[in-house]
Amino acid sequence: MTTPFSLHPQLAADTVSVTEGPLSHVLLIKDARYPWLVLVPRRAGLVDYDDLSVSERTLLGAECAITSASLKKLFAAPKTNVAMLGNMVPQLHCHVIARFRDDAAWPGPVWGVGTARPYDDAEMETRLVALRAELIPAFTTV
Residues 58 and 64: their CA atoms lie apart, in Å, by 10
Closest to a second copy by CB, 77 vs 119, is 77
The answer to whether the beta carbons of residues 53 and 37 sit under 8 Å apart is no
The only residue of 7, 11, 12, 62 in contact with a second copy, by rule CB under 8 A = 62
Residues 115 and 78: their CA atoms lie apart, in Å, by 23
Of the candidates 79, 91, 1, 2, the residue with the CA atom closest to the CA atom of residue 40: 91
- Closest CB 59 distance from a second copy, rounded Å: 10
| Interacting residues with a second copy between 67 and 96 (CB under 8 A) | 68-69, 72, 79-88, 90
45 binds a second copy (CB under 8 A): no
* Beta-sheet pairing, 94-99 with 15-20: unpaired
- Residue range at the interface with a second copy (CB under 8 A); choices 5-13, 38-46, 59-67, 125-133: 59-67
| Interacting residues with a second copy between 93 and 132 (CB under 8 A) | 99, 106-109, 111-112
Closest to a second copy by CB, 119 vs 138, is 138
The answer to whether the beta carbons of residues 26 and 37 sit under 8 Å apart is yes
Where on the chain is the footprint of a second copy (CB under 8 A)? 47-50, 52, 54, 57-58, 61-62, 64-66, 68-69, 72, 79-88, 90, 99, 106-109, 111-112
